[in-house]
Amino acid sequence: MVNKGNFGQVSKYNQIRNIEWPNNADFAVCLTHDVDRVKKTYQYFTHSIKRRSLKPFLTFFDEKEPYWQFDTIMNLEKKHDVRSTFFFLNESQRFRLLSRSSWVESLGRYNIQSLAVKTIIRKLDAGGWEIALHGSINSFDNISLLGKEKFFLEAIVGHSIKGIRQHWLNLDIPKTWQMHKDLGLVYDTSFGKKYKVGFKNVICHPFRPFKDAFMVFPLAIMDSFLFENPFEPGRALEKMKKIIKIAMNAGGLLTVLWHQSVFSEKDFPGYSKFYEILIEECITRNAWFGTCSEVYDHIAGEISR
Backbone dihedral region of 108: left (phi > 0), alpha (psi from -120 to 50 degrees) or beta? left
The model carries a pTM of 0.92
User: Per-residue pLDDT for the chain (305 aa), expressed as one digit of tens each?
Assistant: 567 766 665 556 699 999 999 999 999 999 999 999 998 775 544 555 566 666 655 565 565 889 999 999 999 999 999 999 999 999 876 655 555 555 456 666 899 999 999 999 999 999 999 999 999 988 999 999 999 999 999 999 999 999 999 999 999 999 999 999 999 999 999 999 989 999 999 999 999 999 999 999 999 999 999 987 667 889 999 999 999 999 999 999 999 999 999 999 988 889 999 999 999 999 999 999 999 999 999 999 999 87
Angle (nearest 5°) at CA 61 between 59 and 66:
40
Closest CA to 197 of 216, 217, 225, 224: 225
Question: In 3D, which of 23, 25, 7 has the Cα closest to residue 15?
Answer: 7
Q: Architecture of domain 3-304 in CATH?
A: Alpha-Beta Barrel (3.20)
φ/ψ of 33, rounded to 5, equals -140, 120
SS3 of residue 70 by DSSP: helix
Residue spans of the domains in the chain: they are 3-304
Strands 253-257 and 215-216: unpaired
Asked if 161 and 131 touch (Cβ cutoff 8 Å), the reply is yes
